[in-house]
Copies of this chain bind each other. A is one copy, B any other.
Amino acid sequence: MAGSSIGTIFKITTWGESHGEAVGVVIDGCPAGLPLSEELIQPFMDRRKPGQTDYATKRNEADRVKILSGVFEGKTTGTPISMMVENTSQRSHDYSQIASCYRPGHADFTFDSKYGFRDYRGGGRSSGRETIGRVAAGAVAILFLNRLGISFTTFTRALGPVSLKDEDFTPSLLGMTPTGIPHDGLNAEAEEYLKTCMANMDSAGGIVECRVEGLPVGLGDPVFEKLDANLAKALVSMGAVKAFEVGEGIQAAGRTGSQNNDGFSLQEGKITKRTNHSGGTLGGMSDGSPLILRAYIKPTPSIFSPQQTVTRDKEEVTINIKGRHDPVIVPRAIVVVEAMTAITLMDALLLNMTARMDSIIDFYQK
């Protein structure tokens, strides 16, 4: 079915396989008049680029984004923005093993079962390269939201057993450490852990956190289109994300109401929550507090130690995965989490404009 699009007003459609000609995205529904260029998007692409640290693959992916439509004289025109990145560096090597064997933790088996066959070169459509389109579209959403005073802080909250406490959060180190943990000591600890994983031919997972400030109150709708519900879908739609949390959602399940409720107060004449256990939503709508999301990312399934599996032809075999694989995808996933969050928020923000009769009359009668 048509599963490669997300969004209602701001709608994106990604396309492309890891070893095809290119990967890309079409954004439909971006408002006209947003300043946009390849130069403004490229920094976001660079944040997901591999080959930057010891813990990401050594492939030299240039990943230069090209805008093919929807921008004129430096601004979006309101028509679809088509963006593309060529698959220049994909080596054509021997895929006979993964063509016939089902790699544990990968989608090989489910692809073959669903579609009858699959593009077995690299991860095909389930490759991490699919996220290039998400990041390019997310960049547009972030640039848009920034213009409205909305800002993002996204980082590694945990990597394997190493976890960042709030008091250790170091703003100046955001995006500056190889593991994405904004703290020198904890980053070093996590690097040690990753080295051990690599030595063991193993891999690691972790938690990415995204905080959004400056959101207006009321984004999201009270029933199925709750803001947190759509964010849950957006983040769990990332390949390796297996759990989602808004605010202190997991701990909240063990608390009492008096511990978990956020009372209200007045701050400079503005209604404000005294605490933010809820993570920025109430009843599925943004509540003016910072939005706080967490994506739980499983360890990279491609590991170099031998694993037991079966072939397409139903033989039990031992597989030894070769090639270039990140021992952890968490640092590269940071910008993808931010992108998916921004895409979801931008759509909610546009949809929210139609909530009230009085605003609509204002809009059309001014």
Compute how far the CA of A169 lies from the CA of B304 in the bound complex, rounded to whole angstroms. Answer: 37
Which residues of chain A (340-366) have a CB below 8 Å from chain B? 349-361, 363-365
Query: Which of A44-52, A56-64, A179-187, A245-253 binds B?
Result: A245-253
Which residues of chain A (247-280) have a CB below 8 Å from chain B? 247-250, 252-266, 269, 271, 274, 278-279
- Interface flag for A298 (CB, 8 Å): yes
Compute how far the CA of A229 lies from the CA of B248 in the bound complex, rounded to whole angstroms. Answer: 20
- Tally of this chain's copies: 4
Q: Known contacts A77-B115, A271-B102: does B29 contact A126 (CB below 8 Å)?
A: no
In this complex, how many residues of chain A approach chain B with their Cβ under 8 Å: the count is 168
Which residues of chain A (197-255) have a CB below 8 Å from chain B? 197, 200, 202-207, 216-218, 220-226, 228-237, 239, 241-250, 252-255
A202 touches which one: B70, B236, B257, B283 (CB < 8 A)? B257
A116 in contact with B356 (CB, 8 Å): yes
Return 7 A-B CB contacts under 8 Å, by A number.
A206-B253, A250-B296, A256-B303, A257-B299, A260-B301, A349-B360, A359-B363
- Interface flag for A152 (CB, 8 Å): no
B298 in contact with A253 (CB, 8 Å): yes
Task: List the B side residues contacting A161 at CB < 8 Å.
Answer: 254
- Interface flag for A14 (CB, 8 Å): yes
Compute how far the CA of A288 lies from the CA of B91 in the bound complex, rounded to whole angstroms. Answer: 33
Compute how far the CA of A266 lies from the CA of B32 in the bound complex, rounded to whole angstroms. Answer: 26
Closest to A348 in B: B1
Task: List the B side residues contacting A160 at CB < 8 Å.
Answer: 254, 256
- Interface flag for A282 (CB, 8 Å): yes
- Interface flag for A98 (CB, 8 Å): no
A301 in contact with B6 (CB, 8 Å): no
Task: List the B side residues contacting A250 at CB < 8 Å.
Answer: 242-243, 250, 296
